[in-house]
Amino acid sequence: MIRPLTGQALIQLLPPDEKTDGGLFLPEIVHDNPNGEKAKPRRGIVIAVGPWRQTKEGFAILPDFKPGETVLLSEYAGTKLTRAIGENLRLCRVDDVLAVLTNGQSGPH
């Protein structure tokens, strides 16, 4: 098991959507970037969060998300990890998490 340290979070990235909310299927080319690489997924499920951190003034800074929640990440967030076949994990700074997605939200298209 990987245990993130202070200010870090372990995120399992989700694959990009294959179709829009309206039901239109997106061709694979839409997911590619100009360098010919696959676009990096921006949504993920929080697996683990490191302990809170403390400011110089002594205030606790707690992450705004917890394990099990779906989050939106900055495009190039984190360090890629491979724990098992088929898993796409990132060890990210807590600050790389942009938002928590609530029920019914699938993130940007």
**Three state DSSP letters for 11-78:** EEECCCCCECCCCCECCHHHHECCCCCECCCCEEEEEEECCCEECCCCCEECCCCCCCCEEEECCCCC
pLDDT digits over 60-75, tens only? 888 889 999 999 988 7
Mean per-residue pLDDT, 7-33: 71
Q: What is the CATH number of domain 8-101?
A: 2.30.33.40
Q: Is the pLDDT of residue 79 over 70?
A: yes
Mean per-residue pLDDT, 2-7: 88
Paired residues of 81 in beta bridges: 89
Find the range with the poorest average confidence among 33-37, 39-43, 60-64.
33-37
